[in-house]
Amino acid sequence: MNRSTSEKLYQEALLHIVGGVNSPSRSFKAVGGGAPVFMKRASGSNFWDEDGNRYIDYLAAYGPIITGHAHPHITSAIIAAAENGVLYGTPTQLEITLAKMLKEAIPSMDKVRFVNSGTEAVMTTIRVARAFTKRSKIVKFAGCYHGHSDLVLVAAGSGPSTLGIPDSAGVPKSIAQEVITVPFNDLDSLQEALEKWGEDVAAVMVEPIVGNFGMVMPQPGFLEGLCKLTHDNGSLVIYDEVITAFRFHYGSTQTYAGLENHHDITPDLTALGKIIGGGLPIGAYGGRKEVMEQVAPLGPAYQAGTMAGNPASISAGIACLEVLRAEGVYDEMERLANRLADGLQQSADRHGIPLTINRIRGSFSTHFCDHPITNYEEAQDTDGERFASFFRHMLNRGINLAPSKYEAWFLTTAHTDADIDATLEAAEESFSAMATEQ
Ligand code: PMP
């Protein structure tokens, strides 16, 4: 596959954009380096690069593009918004519509505030929790990524880990000291941490289903235990649902039937992003009324945004949720993901390549190892070189994945059985070639 234009553009990008990319997760550093592919156009489940090569896309822009690229309903909403003016700096009725849709789908959110990214949403939930509890520390789980604000960049999963940056430079020690990190799925460690530092802990922050060191389910009882321990300690529970909300069904993990006892667990604050903006920049956070009333202009916790709630992002978000609300949409993504994951597993097995797949509905992660993946340590202990080889073989056969062994494959409403057939054919060839490389 000729990708000479991407290579040329990468050299040019390096002159002007730090590292040639506007998010480090787009770099190919972890998969052997070299030029990332410069995409020119996308439609449905397909990408075309600057050299005219076509790819089937399973990156879905790290999650938001759950309806496939350039979905006509979302595109029309964006065009209509653009024609009406893209930024007002005043409230609009559209914001109420999307806020109501989110509240209906995620009942723990009495009040919502829109921001511009998942990072901002998470960052603000922490400020609000600190304002409400008048405490300063937070507990997070190793390998969970919560955006790039200072406090949560400790042991922060996929992005930094892919690049071998366990804890970011530039985060003052005094801030890092405010974070306690414990292993996911390990209630004893959480209990110990709360026994030791409990009276300073404002919040326990968790990805209720992890999306940042693969797709990892909480073990039965983990989230209930987490909520009980946290609330007994007088701390707040923050769910980071930036990846998970509207991913597995129309709602969040808080209403997801795949999680037992989900009805018994109510986080105090929830952070959202990605899907709820239909591909345009967005974030949102919300929660219990008394807690959210800490936020300015009602309360003393300040958070603002020139672009927050802009009509274009909000319109795209409403349109995206309208598509997802249709009957059967999630079942079909799951059917295709199941076919694909099963086929990949069989193909890897046939070639003697150890592969563990964690699939949850229409998303899954592939780990080159023969142990289960239930926490970050296990996800780290997988074969990165083999992943890099698989990634490149697949790319050269027109399959676009995230260039990181920790990231998931996302099915969209635009994928078809023909996409799955073509992907499995590419995987069979890739595994076959990899078997001879051993
Ligand atoms: N939280 C989680 C769980 C995420 O996966 C991400 C992004 N991958 C973020 C927060 C940060 O979101 P954003 O990139 O929109 O700032």
**Residue to mutate (ligand 1; options 122, 206, 285; most atoms within 8 A of CB):** 122
Distance of CA 151 from the midpoint of ligand 1 (Å) = 14
Which pLDDT value is given to residue 264? Answer: 74
Instruction: Give residue-wise pLDDT tens across range 308-357.
Output: 999 999 999 999 999 999 999 999 999 999 999 999 999 999 999 999 99
Is the CB of residue 391 less than 8 Å from the CB of residue 426?
Answer: no
Distance of CA 51 from the midpoint of ligand 1 (Å) = 30
Average pLDDT over residues 360-373: 98
Q: How confident is the model at residue 16 (pLDDT cuts 50, 70, 90)?
A: very high
**Residue to mutate (ligand 1; options 119, 144, 153, 253; most atoms within 8 A of CB):** 119
Q: Which of 29, 137, 140, 274 is catalytic?
A: 274
Which pLDDT value is given to residue 151? Answer: 86
Distance of CA 243 from the midpoint of ligand 1 (Å) = 7
Q: Which of 10, 55, 62, 145 is catalytic?
A: 145
Q: Is residue 438's pLDDT more than 80?
A: no
Distance of CA 274 from the midpoint of ligand 1 (Å) = 8
**Residue to mutate (ligand 1; options 269, 274, 313; most atoms within 8 A of CB):** 274
The closest of 213, 246, 144 to 402, measured between CA atoms, is 213
Residue whose CA is closest, atom 5 of ligand 1? Answer: 243
Beta strands in 335-438 (DSSP E): 356-360, 363-367, 399-400, 409-410
Q: What CATH number does the domain located at 4-70+328-437 have?
A: 3.90.1150.10
Average pLDDT over residues 74-101: 98
Distance of CA 13 from the midpoint of ligand 1 (Å) = 24
Instruction: Give residue-wise pLDDT tens across range 257-296.
Output: 999 877 778 999 999 999 999 999 999 999 999 999 999 9
Which pLDDT value is given to residue 166? Answer: 61
Low-confidence winner among 39-48, 124-133, 151-160, 308-317 (lowest mean pLDDT): 151-160
ipTM higher than threshold 0.90? yes
Distance of CA 271 from the midpoint of ligand 1 (Å) = 9
Query: Helices (DSSP H) in 351-409: which residue ranges?
Result: 376-380, 384-396
Which pLDDT value is given to residue 169? Answer: 87
Percent of the chain with pLDDT over 90: 91
Average pLDDT over residues 45-73: 98
Phi and psi torsions of 215, nearest 5°: -95, 115
Which pLDDT value is given to residue 141? Answer: 95
Give 72-325's CATH code, choosing from 3.40.640.10, 3.40.50.620, 3.30.413.10, 2.30.30.100. Answer: 3.40.640.10
State how far the Cα of 91 lies from the Cα of 314, in Å rounded to an integer: 12
Q: Is residue 161's pLDDT more than 70?
A: no
**Nearest atom in ligand 1 to 23's CA:** 14
Which pLDDT value is given to residue 311? Answer: 98
- Let me know if 145 is a catalytic residue: yes
Q: How confident is the model at residue 157 (pLDDT cuts 50, 70, 90)?
A: low
State how far the Cα of 170 lies from the Cα of 264, in Å rounded to an integer: 39
Q: Is residue 158's pLDDT more than 70?
A: no
Whole-number Cα distances in Å, 89 to 284, 292, 306, 385? 17, 22, 7, 48
Q: Which of 240, 256, 405, 419 is catalytic?
A: 240
Residue whose CA is closest, atom 1 of ligand 1? Answer: 146
- Let me know if 240 is a catalytic residue: yes
Q: Cβ neighbours of residue 128 under 8 Å, at least 6 residues apart?
A: 269, 285, 287, 291, 292, 294, 295, 301, 303
**Nearest atom in ligand 1 to 159's CA:** 8
Q: How confident is the model at residue 71 (pLDDT cuts 50, 70, 90)?
A: very high
Domain spans in the chain, listed from the N-terminal domain onward: 4-70+328-437, 72-325
Which pLDDT value is given to residue 156? Answer: 67
Instruction: Give residue-wise pLDDT tens across range 400-420.
Output: 999 999 999 999 999 999 999
Q: Is residue 78's pLDDT more than 80?
A: yes
Q: Is residue 162's pLDDT more than 70?
A: no
Distance of CA 69 from the midpoint of ligand 1 (Å) = 20
Q: How confident is the model at residue 176 (pLDDT cuts 50, 70, 90)?
A: confident
Average pLDDT over residues 67-85: 98
Neighbours of 118 (CB within 10 A): 30
The closest of 155, 115, 62 to 272, measured between CA atoms, is 115
**Average pLDDT score, the chain:** 95
Lining ligand 1 with CB less than 6 A are 62, 117-119, 122, 145-147, 207, 211-212, 240, 242-243, 273
**Residue to mutate (ligand 1; options 242, 272, 406; most atoms within 8 A of CB):** 242
